[in-house]
Amino acid sequence: MATLSRIRVHPIKALDPEEPETVRISEVGGLAGDRSYAIVDGNGRYVNGKLTAAVHRLRSSVDLARGVVELRTQEDDPGPGAGDVEPARFELDGDREALEVWLSDYFGVEVAVEAAAGGDLADSRVYSDVVAGATVVSTATLREVASWFPDVDVESVRRRFRANLEVDGVEAFWEDRLVPDGTGPDGSGPRLRIGDVTFQGVKHVNRCVVPTRDPYTGADTEGFRERFVRKREETFPEWADRDAFDHFYALTTLVHPGEADWDGSIAVGNEVELLDG
């Protein structure tokens, strides 16, 4: 039986994940607590892995219930704020100015912290202007990808691709079944039920530079993209629609819940059922 084995939300966009046992659907159709805050520079750009590898060397821990973040830098961080230090603690809303000063010191440029509803600041907004949604991957997919690289383990793959929902009990690349094939009446993909919440496939997720780096240090993994693309093509499932993919540098699938389920919640251990396809 397919089950939801892991939930990961990233309270501050680009920083470390948290793993709640249960998560509700937010008022914009994302996951509550996921990408609810983002660091932006003076030009309004997100301070993320696409902009600077320094985010990989910043450790964060967020108490979602209390709205408190702890931040510290990696011991081998060569940039501003270098050194293994005790966590700095801030209330995400009550200590916003102090938090911004600390982050500005770390990144070496003036930054601000923006807030929004859960999922509203996710990059998945590029793929859907309807709702924020969530990204899905199977545990078998993560294991398969890890097997392509001698020095990359499953947890590293999780952190590189940053999926929200992990499904166990299904085959590698099972999430490709949710990618729309262009034959549906509204262009949407198959439906997926997790617990009592029904999601619909939106699009496969094209990847950026972030997965090519060690998620803890930001160091480049030599040849990562080239090997990934070659192995992804070699292992592409026979039952998946190649024409639905722009290229093979893609992993995880974006899904969004029907608006009727925006007050629902899902939990680790929920049964996962593919309703179409």
Q: What confidence score (pLDDT) does residue 79 get? A: 46
> Which residue range is the domain that position 72 belongs to?
37-115
Residue 82 lies in a domain: yes
Say whether both 78 and 126 belong to one domain.
no
In a domain, 201, yes or no: yes
Report phi then psi at 268, rounded to 5.
-55, 135
Residue 70 belongs to a domain: yes
Residues 155 and 206 occupy one common structural domain = yes
State which of 115, 148, 182 marks the end of a domain.
Answer: 115
- Rounded to the nearest 10 degrees, what angle do helices 154-161 and 139-146 cross at? 110
Q: Is the model's pTM score more than 0.85?
A: yes
Q: Is residue 14 part of a domain?
A: no
Based on the domain organization, do 86 and 218 belong to the same domain?
A: no
- Cβ contacts of residue 161 below 8 Å, gap of 6+? 137, 142, 145, 207, 211, 251, 252
Encoded tokens for 81: 């704020």
State which of 115, 137, 158 marks the end of a domain.
115
Boundary of a domain, candidates 115, 148, 165: 115
CATH number at residue 233: 2.40.33
Distance of alpha carbon 120 from alpha carbon 147, whole angstroms? 33
Residue 16 within a domain: no
pLDDT digits (tens, 9 = 90+) for 151-204: 999 999 999 999 999 999 999 999 999 998 765 556 678 999 999 999 999 889
> What was the pLDDT predicted at 232?
98
Taking the C-alpha atoms of 143, 148, 154 and 157 in order, what is their torsion angle to the nearest 10 degrees? -110
Q: What integer is the mean pLDDT of 59-75?
A: 90
Helix, coil or strand: residue 224: helix
Q: Based on the fold, state whether residues 49 and 137 are members of the same structural domain.
A: no
Do 93 and 178 reside in the same domain of the chain? no
Read off the pLDDT of residues 112-160 as tens digits, 9 standing for 90 and up: 999 987 777 777 655 555 567 999 999 999 999 999 999 999 999 999 9
- Higher-confidence residue: 11 or 75? 11
* Per-residue model confidence as pLDDT tens digits over 222-261: 999 999 999 999 999 999 999 999 899 999 999 999 889 9
Predicted confidence at residue 85, as pLDDT, reads: 55
Number of separate domains in the chain: 2
Q: Are residues 176 and 232 in the same domain?
A: yes
The string of pLDDT tens digits covering residues 12-58 is 999 999 999 999 999 889 999 999 999 999 998 999 999 999 999 99
Do 54 and 151 fall within a single domain?
no
Whether residue 92 sits in one domain with residue 145:
no
Do 56 and 191 have their domain in common?
no
Give the separation between CA 141 and CA 112, rounded to whole angstroms. 36
Mean pLDDT of the chain: 90
Residue type, 122: A
127 with 256, same domain? yes
